[in-house]
Amino acid sequence: MQSWIDSANRADGPFPVQNLPYGIFSRDPALQEPVCGVAIGDMILDLAVLEQAGLMDMGNGPVFDLPFLNGFMELGPEAWTGLRQYLTEILRKGGDDALSGNPELQKAALFPLADATMFMPFLVAEFTDFYASKHHATHVGTLFRGAENALPPNWLHMPIGYNGRASSVVVSGSDIHRPMGQIKPDDAETPHFGPAQRVDFELELGAVIGVATEMGQPVSTAQADKMIFGYVLLNDWSARDIQAWEYQPLGPFQAKAFGTSISPWVVPKAALERLRCKAVAPDKPLLPYLSEQKPGLYDITLEASIQPENATRATTICRTNYNRMYYSSAQQLAHHASSGCPMNCGDLLGSGTISGPETSEYGSLLEKSEAGQKPFILDTGETRTFIEDYDRITLTGWAQGDGYRIGFGECTGRIIPPLPEPDWKN
């Protein structure tokens, strides 16, 4: 299947007609409020324009002339499927000519992707981050507790996670201030307060929840899968030196609350259906509520790169795949709701750092530098253990179909110096 928009037909292009990811954009933020759009080739299809032209009626009034996708997501899976089928039909070559045969509407509805300003694609209701890659958990556990005690006893029985901060989830391109916090070096008797020196990235995939549940209502993994609207790239920035002092006994807190970056495009779950793949067989039998009736992972190639401020180009420091995960997003969601915790439209579930068995697949600098003990050299000559000021981290991802590619775009962010400390006495 090809599109009548030629730029959508490149075999290595991220946004073919088989993808159709959703995002929030503005043609000119000074003149136009952000609205909902769909990426197709090197263009954005303005859904608000189509809605105003009467081509799309979701039955509950306008939902696309809004600066977030939540209004559409709340309509549920049937509406998601119906709109996707309609968009595919008007964008595919030889399909409905409501758009392809109307030059005036094309001029109003299609806008160059390169000229658009992108915004947060949805209002984040809650953010939960998991720790669900066995390779990552084993690498990190071995660094701090030795190979014999790398995984905590509960790890092989359930997806471990923690509730993060929705308020600090930002769209790709946003700068992140180096966090301040309590730090206690190993050779110090007491902690001090100051800027984190061990700022890290975490290469993750984020599941965007589109269906809410009632308080007290558990869901199966099959139901959980249907609740997922789509996926984004996610970088859960981490301050490892703050984390090392604070995480006992309750886990991460300020070390991960200062910023989480997501890509501006939400790839619909439907675009990935043909690219599902099975997880490895669990080391120990899982309890029935975590069983899956169909493969819960996807064959998604993921990369991370770092580019210092004056470097001429970025250095790829990780290339791995989402199929390395031990627990799927559906299992994570089913576990999250199992206690009766209500889930909301706009909830964001981070997969946890995605790592593979090889050094080239380590999805964090904590692993790559062996907790700062093993510096590595970038292609442009700089040496790193952790992120320095003005370093830019970029995550990319794509799933390869038969003659087409489902791209996620980029999730990029730069660490900048902390803001000045206040007068603590006033």
Q: Which residues are catalytic?
A: 136
Longest alpha-carbon distance in the chain: 74
Would you state the structure tokens that stand for residue 425, as one six-digit string? Answer: 């006495």
Return phi, psi of residue 302, to 5°. Answer: -130, 140
User: Rounded to an integer, what distance in angstroms lies between the CA atom of residue 177 and that of residue 373?
Assistant: 25
User: Rounded to an integer, what distance in angstroms lies between the CA atom of residue 220 and that of residue 146?
Assistant: 35
Taking alpha carbons only, the member of 260, 278, 128, 287 closest to residue 203 is 260
User: Rounded to an integer, what distance in angstroms lies between the CA atom of residue 156 and that of residue 140?
Assistant: 15
User: Rounded to an integer, what distance in angstroms lies between the CA atom of residue 368 and that of residue 365?
Assistant: 5
Q: Specify which residues 397 forms β-bridges with.
A: 302
Q: Are strands 169-171 and 383-384 parallel, antiparallel or unpaired?
A: unpaired
Q: Are strands 192-195 and 203-209 parallel, antiparallel or unpaired?
A: unpaired
Would you state the structure tokens that stand for residue 194, as one six-digit string? Answer: 């100051």
Taking alpha carbons only, the member of 9, 8, 86, 93 closest to residue 43 is 8
The label of the residue with tokens 């007491």 reads 190
Would you state the structure tokens that stand for residue 139, as one six-digit string? Answer: 């690498």
Give, in order, the Cα–Cα distances in Å from 293 to each of 184, 224, 331, 346, 354: 47, 12, 11, 25, 23
